[in-house]
Amino acid sequence: MFTGIIESIGIIKSIDREGEDLKVNIFLNDNKLQDINIGDSISVNGICLTVKDINEDLLSFDISRETLSRTAPLKLSQKLNLESSLRFNGKVSGHFVTGHVDEVGVIHSIEKKDLCEVWGLKVSEKLMKFIPEKGSVALNGTSLTINNVGENIFYINLIPHTLQTTNLSDLKEGDKVNIEIDMIARYLQNFITK
């Protein structure tokens, strides 16, 4: 369980293929992630991954074919949003994020507006029923509020702090992002349709 408040930016140093799975090494360029141990869950661009190995400033992860089939592609030197798992004696500044990506969305538009950027994200019709205006959503693991909703597009507002402390500032129109809907919306929809 995570909060969607990004703690650090990591950089992919190596990707090794093992059949249809991947072994990925991520360089930690700061000391903001604390008390990380082998077996811990880390949100990596919104994907809940288990730490396989720690070697000084490198974290190693195994990523299954199933996870790869549901998330945005990874590439060498890519910057990744990182968050350690929630400690229940701490505060929740974002919203509850599980690290289970629901869909890969596409950045449809980016509009600079005063200090901020307004992004339009295109997703499937199936996912839109979980995207309410003023609800929560996680993009690459970052907790955000939905400004408004169109047809298969929803809009978010990115403040300067979010752009400075996440990898979202590296993205452009047409790029893919990992999207996780709010878990409360998911469970309510499941309850209503049963």
124, two tokens: 């499937």
**Distance in angstroms (rounded) separating the CA atoms of residues 176 and 192:** 30
Do the Cβ atoms of 171 and 134 come closer than 8 Å?
no
Domains of the chain: 8-84 (2.40.30.20), 103-193 (2.40.30.20)
Q: Is the pLDDT of residue 184 over 90?
A: no
Token pair 């919306």 is found at 185
Contacts of residue 81, defined as CB under 8 A and 6 or more positions apart, other chains included, come to 6, 9, 43, 44, 45, 46, 140, 141, 142, 166, 167, 168
Residue 111 and residue 119: Cα distance in Å, rounded? 6
**Nearest Cα residue to 166 out of 24, 3, 6, 56:** 6
Q: What pLDDT was estimated at residue 47? A: 97
Q: What would the mean pLDDT of 101-119 be, rounded to a whole number?
A: 96
**b (16+ CB within 10 A) / e for 23-50:** ebbbbbeeeebeeeeeeebbbbbbbbbe
Q: Which two tokens stand for residue 142?
A: 């970052």
Report CA-CA distances (Å) from 58 to 38, 66, 76, 194.
12, 24, 14, 45
Stated as kind and residue range, the H or E segment containing 115 is: none
For residues 92-98, average pLDDT: 77
Question: Residue 25: is its pLDDT beyond 70?
Answer: yes
Q: pTM of the prediction?
A: 0.90
**pLDDT, average across residues 156-163:** 96
Determine the pLDDT at residue 107: 98
190 confidence band (pLDDT: 50, 70, 90)? low
Residues 6 or more apart from 9 whose CB is under 8 A from it?
Answer: 29, 30, 79, 80, 81, 82, 165, 166, 167
Q: Is the pLDDT of residue 147 over 80?
A: yes
